[in-house]
Amino acid sequence: MQLNPSRNRFGLKEWLSEIAVGVSMKGVVFTEFLAFVSESWDEDLVDDIIEASALESGGAYTSVGTYDHREIVSLLEALSFRTEQPKDALMRQFGFYLAGRFSVFFPQFFTRCDTLFAFLASIDDYIHVEVKKLYPDAELPSFDVLQSDETQMSMRYRSSRKMEALAQGLIYGAAHHFGCTIHVAASDGGDGSVIFAINEAGS
């Protein structure tokens, strides 16, 4: 997985608002997804998956626009078909990429924490608090810490969008930022949630 963040066309509010609009998503998610495809493969593949997806927007995204979240599902399916890679694997790669972007442009979320586990524990208590200040009616995913020590953590992830592969990729990307090697196992939480078991290498 490669990180090559080179665009800063949006502010913190736009980044946070992508999870604040119900079944819609802010355009920054789409622009970053297409950038991920371009940097991981090439621009021709970007044009190919847009054409194949028959998008209502036509694929003309702006970072501050709002679009039906089903469009990113269509783009993902087209990418999976053309690269012959599973959709979940691609979403994990995209999540890793997004974490790198996030750490470069909004380091304040990372520098306040000394370790990966401290950062992950701050998602609901700090980062999502900042989202709520901007968008009181936001529908946010939740990351509840169930257990944590120096080498392992378990978290319960809940989201109406069911994008656990993206969340898993974000965790791996955050680990990369903190210089950690981890393994993340996902299991059914039994109530529509997903349990992430995160272990540092060698533990």
Structural contact between residues 44 and 58, judged by C-beta atoms closer than 8 angstroms: no
Residues 131-169: b if buried by 16+ CB within 10 A, e if exposed:
beeebeebebbebebeeeeeeebbbebbbebebbbbbbb
Name the one residue in this structure whose structure tokens are 């502010």: 11
Q: Tens digits of per-residue pLDDT, 37-79?
A: 999 999 999 999 999 999 999 999 987 788 888 899 999 999 9
CA angle (159, 104, 35) in 5-degree steps? 70
What domains are defined for the chain? 12-103 (3.90.1520.10), 115-200 (3.90.1520.10)
Structural contact between residues 139 and 22, judged by C-beta atoms closer than 8 angstroms: yes
Question: How high is the pLDDT of residue 139?
Answer: 62
Structural contact between residues 76 and 88, judged by C-beta atoms closer than 8 angstroms: no
The rounded distance, in Å, linking the Cα atoms of 13 and 30 is: 16
- Average pLDDT of 107-127? 88
User: Across the chain, what does the average pLDDT equal?
Assistant: 84
- Decide if pLDDT at 136 tops 90: no
> Which token pair is 185?
């196992």
Cα–Cα distances in angstroms (integers) from residue 121 to residues 65, 127, 149, 156, 185, in the given order = 30, 10, 12, 11, 17
Using left for φ > 0, alpha for ψ between -120 and 50, and beta otherwise, residue 199 falls in beta
**The pTM is what?**
0.82
